[in-house]
Amino acid sequence: MLGRDKLKRLHLPLSRNNGKSKRETEAFTFNGTVPGPEIRVNVGDSVQVTITKTLAEPTSVHWHGINRIAWIHDGVAPVTQAVIQPGGRHVYPFFVDRPGTFMYHPHFLPNEASQVDKGMYGPIIVEPQRKTYTKEFTMMLGGWIVK
């Protein structure tokens, strides 16, 4: 899978941001932001994403829409991979062979819904070999209920 064209190495530390005022709330993040950082790669790229500094609870990462990924790296923990334990590290390699807009998010059963609801998601943009557009915008929408 790796080394076909280019290898892109990315690092996504996980963290928990505690709300500091009445207008802020707790969030679980990739790299400190909600949504997590945009992963922008090109068709033909091999990608390696390293997840570190995990939350106080176990997690995993699913690469939604990425179809050239070994099943052991598709993030459905604890079914296809061991969960990433607090303080743990996991490297996810995959290859992108088609353009499109995809996303990443936790897929640890049974905590994935609460982790996604607290902000753990981000976009993956796979650029085509030849662009047929001049402008693009990435939007990720999320709903929050804050008391």
How many residues bind to Cu ion according to rule CB under 5 A? 1
**Complete DSSP assignment for 9-77:** EEEEEEEEEPP-STT---EEEETTBSSPPPEEEETTEEEEEEEES--SS-B--EEET--BS-GGGS--B
State yes or no: residue 16 binds Cu ion (CB under 5 A).
no
Our CB check for Cu ion shows the closer of 7 and 70 to be 70
102 binds Cu ion (CB under 5 A): no
Q: Which stretch binds Cu ion (CB under 5 A): 57-65, 77-85, 125-133, 136-144?
A: 57-65
Measured from the CB atom, the residue of 16 and 64 that comes closer to Cu ion is 64
Q: Is 64 in the site for Cu ion (CB under 5 A)?
A: yes
Count CB-CB contacts under 10 A for residue 139. Answer: 7
**Nearest-CB residue for Cu ion:** 64
